[in-house]
A and B are shown apart, each in its own frame.
Chain A
Amino acid sequence: MDKDHLFHDEQTGVPTLLAALDELRHQIVERGELLVLYFNFRRYSKIEEIYGWEKLDEVLTTTASAMRAHLAGTPLANAALIVPFTGDDDFMVLHVPPPATVAMTETQLTELVTNLQESVSAEIEAEHGDEIAALFDIYVGRTHVVVDPKIRLERMIYRGIRDAMAAAMSVEARERARKISDLRESIRTRGIYIEFHPIIVAATGEIFGYEALARGVMRSMRSPEVMFEIAAQANLLWELSRLCRERAIEEMPTRLNDEALLFLNIDPHDFADPEFTPGALRVPDPRRVVIEITERTAIKDYPKFRNQLSAFREAGFRFAVDDAGSGYAGLGSIANLEPDFIKLDISLINCIDENFIKQNLVETMVRFANDQGAQVIAEGVENEDEFETVKSLGVHFIQGFYLHLGRAMPLSSRSAATTA
């Protein structure tokens, strides 16, 4: 059987370690040294789970071509860009300095790596947008393998690769510590701001409400996913959540008109926070606040969770199940929460105009919601085709980048705010 496909990653066209070693062996022995750079790509909040594996494939293809393009203009132009295994998402660069050249100094290498990281990040941002780019970090570790004739070449190289990988991991650990300290500083100085993303009535285009999305003022904290993941690692979830809630509610009077609803993301962990009570949320009118709970977090103890919800419900707050349809939970678990709104997972909306199964699922959800007395919000609508498709499927409200292009209209009558 043809095994060629085992030596090259089909998606990126990058060869695997085994294929590259075969070609490099002679040069390594002759030169007596090898530089190994290991690129560890850290992805926050499971990018594949949010956008699907297709998206990560695309991002990796961009990464590979950006790395090739950047390396072409450096002393590492002839280095081999490889993947450890086919389908893997880490990359390595193996470089044997050409004969009669001097190896790069540590300072030159550090500068090269920094520039490479910046150029790959910029390319990911240009191709896939800043939301995706903010979910990516690149950590690079490096080692110099000096050939020792007493030791078998392969083993030396494999050890070198493991050392470079460990170095990349330790860079990651250092960066994480820095991010935790950035987060503490952000919480101490209340250094976050709120973006209000409009949600419109599908039929009329009028603004129905806004989802509050918190971002850190510091560059390392600009992605909410990163901020909350770091908060979970540092045991600062409650503190961060409290700050985000306070900031969003504080800005209600100035940023929202009198009728628009505020959609507020609440982590299921927040329900264990003694300071998270209906009274502690200082809102002018609880009926204007919709608490969003994500389906992504498994809720094991439904009866208990529903009791906690009921105190908020009695005070007038409403509920939305966020990311609905993202997991394998099915419709039963959504019904269990008795939501007022069901926000469809972004993966169901992405390219929905092209995919008839997604259309069928959304239609099912709309029917289900109508039976349950709930209303459906399509999130992540990015273009006109998606917009028209979800509208034709009977979705009640629409949210997404498409609306940020000036298509949302201010609410002009009181009636829309009271339809839910």
Chain B
Amino acid sequence: MPDQERPRVLVVDDNHDNADIIREYLTSLDYPVAVAYDGEEALRLFEEQRPPIVLLDVMMPGRDGWEVCREMKQHAEHGRSVRVIMVTALHDWVDKRQAIQSGADDFIEKPFELAKLGEAVQRNVRRLPAHS
């Protein structure tokens, strides 16, 4: 997408190292990145910055990724347009079902390779209304 401005990505992970690695990688791909280290902060940044793409860790203290995802997707104005990628090991059918019911659009398995994470972000960017 050389002609288009890259959309902002919100990275949510309580593990600072993980979050920083993802931030650096996506920044190197020219994505503007915001980072939140817990669910509350994620929802606050979501409200403030309206990022079109969210990379969301599931296992977090306090509000977990499922809860945060559901809340983002139920957002009255921005819920329909945001694409949420869960970063988790969705082992079986039941986990994936839960992901769909929380409104998630995609997932990438943990532990992840950065290249795969980049692909996941890209395929979701392609699904954004302005990029299709």
Chain A contacts to B: CB under 8 angstroms: 10-11, 13, 52-54, 57, 325, 328, 330-331, 347-348, 354-358, 360-361, 364
Interface residues on B, range: 20 to 34
In the complex, the answer to whether A10 meets B76 with C-beta atoms within 8 Å is: yes
User: Beyond A347-B100, A354-B127, is A361–B74 a contact (Cβ under 8 Å)?
Assistant: no
Which chain B residues in 115-132 approach chain A with CB under 8 Å? 120, 123-124, 127
Q: State A13–B123 Cα separation when bound (angstroms).
A: 33
CA–CA, A360 and B93, complex, Å? 10
**A348 contacts which chain B residues (CB < 8 A)?**
100
Given known contacts A10-B75, A10-B76, A57-B74, A356 and B93 CB-to-CB distance under 8 angstroms: no
Cβ-neighbour of A10 out of B74, B97, B103 (below 8 A): B74
CA gap between A348 and B73 in the complex, in Å = 17
Closest to B127 in A: A354
Check A354/B75 contact, CB under 8 A, given A325-B97, A330-B94, A364-B93: no
A16 to B90, CA, bound (A): 38
B93 engages A358 (CB within 8 Å): no
Question: B104, A325: Cβ atoms under 8 Å?
Answer: no
Asked if B106 CB lies within 8 Å of chain A CBs, one says: yes
Knowing A354-B127, A356-B123, say if A361 contacts B103 (CB, 8 Å): no
Min CB gap A324→B, angstroms: 10
Q: How distant is A191 from chain B, measured CB to nearest CB, in Å? A: 38
Residue of B76, B99, B105 near A354 (CB, 8 A) is B105
- Interface: B92 (CB within 8 A): yes
Closest residue of chain B to A354, judged by CB?
B127
Chain B proximity of A354: nearest CB distance (Å): 6
Residue in chain B with minimal CB distance to A61: B76
Interface: B66 (CB within 8 A): no
Q: Provide the residues of chain B in CB contact with A347, threshold 8 Å.
A: 100
Quick check: A13 and B107 within 8 Å, CB to CB?
no
In the complex, are the beta carbons of A328 and B100 less than 8 A apart? no
Supply 15 A–B pairs (Cβ within 8 Å), ascending by A.
A10-B75, A52-B101, A53-B101, A54-B73, A330-B93, A347-B100, A348-B100, A355-B100, A356-B107, A356-B120, A357-B106, A360-B96, A361-B93, A361-B97, A364-B93
* Cβ–Cβ contact A328 & B74, under 8 A: no
Cα distance, A358 to B104, chains bound together (Å): 10
Q: For residue A357, which residues in chain B have a CB less than 8 angstroms away from its CB?
A: 86, 90, 96, 99-100, 104-107
A sample of 9 more A-B contacts (CB under 8 A), given A325-B93, A356-B123, is A328-B94, A330-B94, A354-B105, A357-B90, A357-B106, A358-B100, A360-B96, A360-B107, A361-B100
A24 to B72, CA, bound (A): 33
CB distance from A8 to the nearest CB of B (A): 9
Instruction: Give the residues in chain A near B103, CB-CB below 8 Å.
Output: 54
Shortest CB distance B67–A (Å): 14
CB-defined contacts of B93 to chain A, threshold 8 Å: 325, 330-331, 361, 364
Once the chains are docked, how many angstroms separate the CA of A360 from the CA of B99?
12
CB closest residue in chain A, given B108 = A356
Give the distance in Å from the alpha carbon of A53 to the alpha carbon of B99 in the complex.
13
In the assembled complex, the CB of A15 is this many whole angstroms from the nearest CB of chain B, namely 14
For B123, what are the chain A residues with a Cβ–Cβ distance below 8 Å? 356
Q: Which residues of A contact B73 (CB under 8 A)?
A: 54
In contact, A355 and B74 (Cβ under 8 angstroms): no
Scan B77-117; emit 1 where CB is below 8 A from any A CB, else 0: 00000000010001011101101110111110000000000
Minimum CB distance partner of B100 in chain A: A357
Docked CA distance A13–B100 (Å): 26
B92:A356 contact, CB within 8 angstroms: no
Chain A residues in 8 Å Cβ range of B90: 357
Which residues in A have their C-beta under 8 angstroms from that of B74? 10-11, 53, 57
For the complex formed, measure the closest distance between the CB of B119 and the CB atoms of chain A, giving whole angstroms.
11
Which residues of A are found within 8 Å of B92, using beta-carbon distances?
Answer: 330
Distance A358 CA – B106 CA, assembled complex (angstroms): 8
Whether A361 pairs with B96 at a CB distance below 8 angstroms is yes
User: CB-CB < 8 A to B104: which residues of A?
Assistant: 357
A10 contact set on B, CB distance < 8 A: 74-76
CA separation between A13 and B104, bound complex, in Å? 24
Q: What string of 1s and 0s marks CB contacts (under 8 Å) between B15-58 and chain A?
A: 00000000000000000000000000000000000000000000
